[in-house]
Amino acid sequence: MAVDPGFLDHVTDLLSDLGPVQVKRMFGGVGLYQSDLMFALIFGDSLYLKADKQTEAQFEAAGSSPFTFEMKDGRTGILHYWRLPEEAGDDRAAACRWARLAVETAIKARLKGKAVGKSGAKSKAKARKEPELLIDGPWDDD
């Protein structure tokens, strides 16, 4: 789904008080970044903000819904990005409050990712083991 350039201009204007926001095209949509942290998605004419278990309830209470998509096998996928609540769609101050919440969520996710590996366990540096030589050579004739 293509992003309407007029809607993208509206969103960047709406979030202008947030500070510098980088726009990167991706998968038919747009990712919004601040300080190399992706905090929002735009697909079609909808802005979705990053959320986590703690903030999803706030989005839901404001009448928002999560970003969903259909997978190749027909199942519905859900991302941890929630639509900007309707009441903030034309309110720069409200939109920036929601966006700041999304930026904070992205920061927490990055910090958690550094402390916890993909398996969910804290990562530890593995000791390097010297390789074993499997063949004899002239170096063994001492």
**132 or 103: whose pLDDT is higher?**
103
Kindly tell me the sign of the dihedral angle through the C-alpha atoms of 43, 46, 50, 54: negative
Taking all residues of the chain, what is their mean pLDDT, rounded to a whole number?
A: 84
What angle (nearest 5°) sits at the alpha carbon of residue 49, between those of residues 4 and 101? 140
Give the chain's domain count.
1
Kindly state whether residue 124 falls inside one of the protein's structural domains.
Answer: no
Is 139 within the bounds of a domain?
A: no
Domain hosting residue 56, numbered range: 5-115
Based on C-alpha coordinates, what's the Rg of the chain? 22
In a domain, 107, yes or no: yes
Read off the tokens for 35: 């300080």
Which two structure tokens, joined as six digits, stand for 114?
């550094």
pLDDT digits (tens, 9 = 90+) for 18-63: 999 999 998 889 999 998 899 999 998 999 999 999 999 999 999 9
